[in-house]
Structure 1
Amino acid sequence: MDFELSEEQEQLKSEVQRFAENEIVPVAKEYDREEKYPWEVVDEAAEMGLLAPQIPFEYGGAGYDVLDTAIIVEELFAADPGIGLCLSSTGFGTEAILEYGTEEQKEEYLEPVAKGEAISGAAISEPDTGSDVSSVSTRAEKDGDEWVINGNKMWITNGSI
């Protein structure tokens, strides 16, 4: 079995490395010191198709497969884990929309994330269970025409943005 990257994957890796060296490394310390979100880097990453790279072309994404996406994330984190996480988490949860969402939901939510016009978030961690999603106690229940959500969360990924 061949475990080497293909020529296309090597090229992708090189392109992401170049992006990271030019767009992330020079500003990473500044963003850390100032504790600010790297909107400018997000915009540049969107131009390169690096936000939620697994989103298919028909929904405005780059259409990368799992291994390509892993290469992208690895190279972003190698440059700076803080900015790497900001970029790789913009599409946090889009996989669920791709797998289980309606066509209307896919059209409404996926393209803005891929283009950097929207950022998804996730509320998983709870005081008693951490991030063990199989043990969360928060529940959503239908009450007439509305959904009522009951529970507590500790952190919400991208909640502040």
Structure 2
Amino acid sequence: MLSEFILTDEQKAIKEAAREFAEKEFPKYAEECDREEKFPFELWKKTAELGFIGMSFPEEYGGQGAGILDSCLVVEEFWRVDGGLGQILSTTFGSEQILAFGNEEQKKKYLPPLAKGKAICCACYTEPQAGSDVAGIKTRADKVGDEYVINGTKMFITNGTIADYYIVLARTDPNPP
């Protein structure tokens, strides 16, 4: 027997706000974005102003501290109106790695601009010989002094041409398992 799934009043309000925003704003941008393969910077900023970008980021890093269900409700409404814009506006590529593995200084530096729509991030994983199999990557990051020198090839990087921040998956161990 399935339990009845009930949204809280706050979740209903989030869902309604996302639906109203998408229905009002997406039609103004969808055709041009598809036809011209353009990133909707103006729409990105509007989406961020409403708190939909990075909404699951903790509040101390500029997000709403929303739960995964809250984020899913927004994604569902965005995709219901337009899948392309829904994908673009409901993803902060690379931010998950900063949240999970970044130190406090990195989180405070990079996450607030992402959550506020003032910066765009991308995750550089895919490689010609490995595809998206992260265990098969060949890109190297060798420490030289106080810096890392990255050597390798990445491809098919979503937001790669417009990003402000790049999360690059690379090997630092010269003898991986």
Which range moved further: 131-140 or 111-120?
A: 131-140
Alignment-derived partner of residue 62 in structure 1: 64
Which residue is equivalent to 1:139?
140
TM-score by length of 1: 0.91
1:160 aligns with 2:127: no
Aligned to 2:85: 83
Q: Which amino acid aligns with 2:30?
A: A
- 1:7-46 equivalences under 5 Å are 7-46=9-48
Q: Counterparts of 2:133 and 2:37 in 1: how far apart (Å)?
A: 28
SS in 2 for 1:69: helix
**Code of the aligned partner of 1:70:** C
CA drift of 1:2 comes to: 4.1
Distance in 1 (alpha carbons) for counterparts of 2:45 and 2:143 = 38
Instruction: Tell me the amino acid that sits aligned with residue 68 of structure 2.
Output: V
Pick one of 3, 6, 28 that aligns with 2:5.
3
Equivalent residue number for residue 98 of structure 1: 99
Q: Which moved more, 1:13-22 or 1:150-159?
A: 150-159
Amino acid at match of 1:39: F
Can you list the C-alpha shifts for 1:80-126, whole angstroms capped at 9, x where unaligned?
1222222123x212122222212111111011011111011111111
Q: What is the RMSD computed on CA atoms of the aligned residues?
A: 1.5
Q: Is the 8 A contact 2:54 2:116 kept in 1?
A: no
Partner amino acid, structure 2, of 1:111? P
Letter in 2 for 1:43: K
Q: Normalising to structure 2: TM-score of the pair?
A: 0.83
| Aligned partner of 1:53 among 52, 55, 58 | 55
Aligned residues: 160
Equivalent residues of 2:93, 2:122 under 8 A apart: yes
Deviation digits for residues 34-56 of structure 1 (CA, Å, limit 9, x no counterpart): 22110111011011101121111
CA distance in 2 between partners of 1:2 and 1:133 (Å): 39
Could you list the runs of 5+ residues in structure 2 that have no partner in the other structure?
Answer: 163-177
Supply the distance in 2 between the matched residues of 1:160 and 1:9 (Cα, whole angstroms). 34
> What SS does structure 1 have at the residue aligned with 2:124?
coil
What residue in structure 2 maps to residue 121 of structure 1? 122
- Classify 1:77/1:144 alpha carbon distance in 2 versus 1 (closer, same or farther; 3 Å): same
After superposing the two structures, state which structure 1 stretch, 131-140 or 56-65, moved more: 131-140
Whether the 8 Å contact between 2:56 and 2:64 is mirrored in structure 1 is: yes
Quote the sequence identity (%): 50
Q: Which has the larger radius of gyration?
A: 2
